[in-house]
């Protein structure tokens, strides 16, 4: 029996459906997509939506045309991770860097999307940016021990044993 985590979603590509963008909402197909550093990382290629909920779940970004030498390919970004810049016809991804994009699984038409896919995307988007300082509260910081507490005081290195 299939695990509940692998239950496939019924997501459809908007361009292949009988649905269309609601009046008053921006048609973002072809808009430039910018990362947290304002680099163009691609263009909006497609929208994946849930037919039952009538809600867009993912933006498909085509990385063929970018300013940061990303290899060609398409990736999924959850709609809640983006902001629409209506004045400039751009999609902005605050907190998403090239490091995150490189960690994302590639999307191909017809790919099965399920909870495992969601988890894989979430892990990629949580990845620390290459060269960035370690964020406070991360596992790495929590496991680092600069000082070791002892009953008779603190020890800062082997040569200061009390």
> What distances in angstroms separate CA 122 from CA 77, 96, 114, 118, 139, one per listed residue?
9, 11, 12, 6, 17
Please tell me the predicted confidence (pLDDT) of residue 6: 61
Residues of the chain with pLDDT below 50 are: 1-3, 136-150, 154-162
- The full set of domain ranges for the chain reads 4-132
For 98, phi then psi, to 5°, come to -60, -40
CATH code matching the domain that covers 4-132, chosen among 3.30.360.10, 3.90.50.10, 3.40.50.620, 1.10.357.10: 3.90.50.10
pTM: 0.75
Start-to-end CA span in the chain (Å): 60
Q: What is the pLDDT of residues 116-143, one digit of tens each?
A: 999 999 999 998 876 655 554 444 444 4
């Amino acid at each position: 029996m299939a695990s509940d985590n692998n239950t496939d979603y019924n997501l459809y590509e908007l361009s292949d459906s009988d649905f269309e963008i609601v009046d008053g909402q921006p048609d973002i197909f072809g808009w430039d997509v910018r990362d947290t550093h304002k680099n163009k990382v691609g263009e909006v290629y497609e929208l994946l939506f849930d037919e039952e909920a009538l809600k867009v779940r993912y933006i498909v970004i085509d990385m063929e045309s970018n300013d940061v030498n990303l290899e060609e390919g398409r990736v999924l970004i959850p709609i809640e991770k983006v902001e629409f810049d209506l004045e400039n016809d751009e999609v902005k991804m605050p907190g998403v860097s090239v490091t995150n994009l490189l960690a994302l699984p590639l999307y191909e038409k017809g790919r099965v999307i399920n909870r495992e896919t969601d988890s894989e995307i979430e892990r990629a988007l949580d990845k620390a940016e290459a060269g960035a300082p370690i964020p406070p509260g991360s596992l790495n910081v929590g496991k680092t021990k600069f000082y070791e507490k002892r009953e008779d005081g603190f020890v800062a290195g082997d040569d200061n044993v009390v």
